[in-house]
Amino acid sequence: MAEFQTPVKKVNKALDEKITIPPSPFLNRLGYGTGVNVMQLVRSPRAGQIRSPWALKMLNKRVKPCRVYTERLQAEAELLQRMSHPNIVGFRAFSKGKILYLGMEACDLSLGDMIEKRVEDNVGPFVPRQILKVAADIASALDYLHTKMQILHGDMKSYNILVNGNFMVCKLCDFGVTLPLDEYGVFDKEKAGKAVYFGTEAWSAPEVINGGEITSKTDVWSLGLTLWEMMALLPPHTQIDEDFDYSMEEEMDDSVGDHFYERYGTRPPIPENISEQKYADPLALFYCCTETMPAMRPNAAHLAIAAEDMMTQTRNLIGNK
């Protein structure tokens, strides 16, 4: 983990409290990632005081013990302790004892889970206001990461965004594969050492796929594809191509896999059911975030301001009717 100049945030002593982790069958699984599970811990009341639940990121017992996962979890804990932002999930505790876990603020649902639920319920895409709220909150979190912490999130996607209530607040989570940035927002290879861009290919920017220069704008591209997810209700680049023959029996897996892979690092088309008039604002953000040339994309700060302005204009229009 690179050394950053941001002052270390003092952690409340209450965060060091010893907690009892019940067996996994008694924990509600909130999500999972490579080598880890995220479980919900409902904490018992203390002296009549109701205590908020925690989300515990723990190593997956089905995965063979791996130093990489352990070190990654510890590095994430150390990073979360140093950060304080309303749109970044809060640190709660970290233990290297018998059970290794990272305790975090628990939120209602991940955006990825919400997308899956909308597909199951057949209720259609998110409304523009909700998409703009995600853009504003998460862009604000990215601006903090890029400028104050000088790090790249490195794995922007819907499953790494948490939502409370009816989009009251959105928070960025999962900082296990962050990379250091220099003062110009460019990937700092010297500080990174052997670390490389990890990410998730379907959300990766052209410069990642083509081996170009990684910068803070790489996160902005991935956020743009996350906004697309909220309209398409699909992971990027998984939409069906009517001109492609999916019925091949022999070598089907390889052919289909190559077909989808060729789309990575490109701007996916707008879903047919999305009205360009109704979704004009979310589409404008999507287009500017997914410019092929990184220099043409807005930085996170400008994106947050644009999204906030769009939400304000929308509220004003509704209020004037």
- DSSP code string of 205-272: -HHHHTT---BTHHHHHHHHHHHHHHHH-S-TT-S--TTS-TT--TTHHHHHHHHHHTTTTSPPPPPT
Provide the pLDDT for residue 241: 60
What is the percentage of the chain residues whose pLDDT exceeds 90? Answer: 57
Alpha-carbon distances, residue 163 vs 11, 24, 25 (angstroms): 24, 24, 25
320 versus 97: the higher-pLDDT residue is: 97
Q: Which residue has the higher pLDDT, 194 or 248?
A: 194
Q: What is the mean pLDDT of residues 35-57?
A: 64
**Does the pLDDT value for residue 6 go beyond 80?**
no
Other residues' Cβ atoms within 10 Å of the Cβ of residue 249: 5
pLDDT recorded at residue 316: 76
Phi-psi label, residue 212: left if phi above 0, alpha if psi -120 to 50, beta otherwise: beta
Strand boundaries in the chain, DSSP class E: 28-33, 36-41, 54-59, 91-96, 100-105, 109-110, 151-152, 161-164, 169-172, 179-180
Name the segment(s) of the chain with CATH classification 3.30.200.20.
17-105
In terms of Cα–Cα distance, which of 121, 204, 116 is closest to 159?
Answer: 116
The confidence band for 99, taking pLDDT boundaries of 50, 70 and 90, is confident
Cα-to-chain-centroid distance, residue 57: 15
To the question of domain 17-105 being in CATH 3.30.200.20, the answer is yes
CATH 1.10.510.10 for the 109-320 domain, yes or no: yes
Provide the pLDDT for residue 10: 44
Average pLDDT value for residue range 262-266: 91
Residue 9 has pLDDT above 60, yes or no: no
* Residue 302 pLDDT: 98
The answer on pLDDT for 283 being more than 60 is yes
Q: What band does 95 get if pLDDT is binned at 50, 70 and 90? A: confident
Catalytic residues: 155
Predicted confidence (pLDDT) per residue in 149-183, tens digit: 999 999 999 999 999 999 999 999 999 899 999 99
Report the distance separating Cα 313 and Cα 321, nearest Å: 13
Residues of the chain with CATH 1.10.510.10: 109-320
Q: Which residue from 107, 220, 116, 225 is spatially nearest to 171, judged by alpha carbons?
A: 107
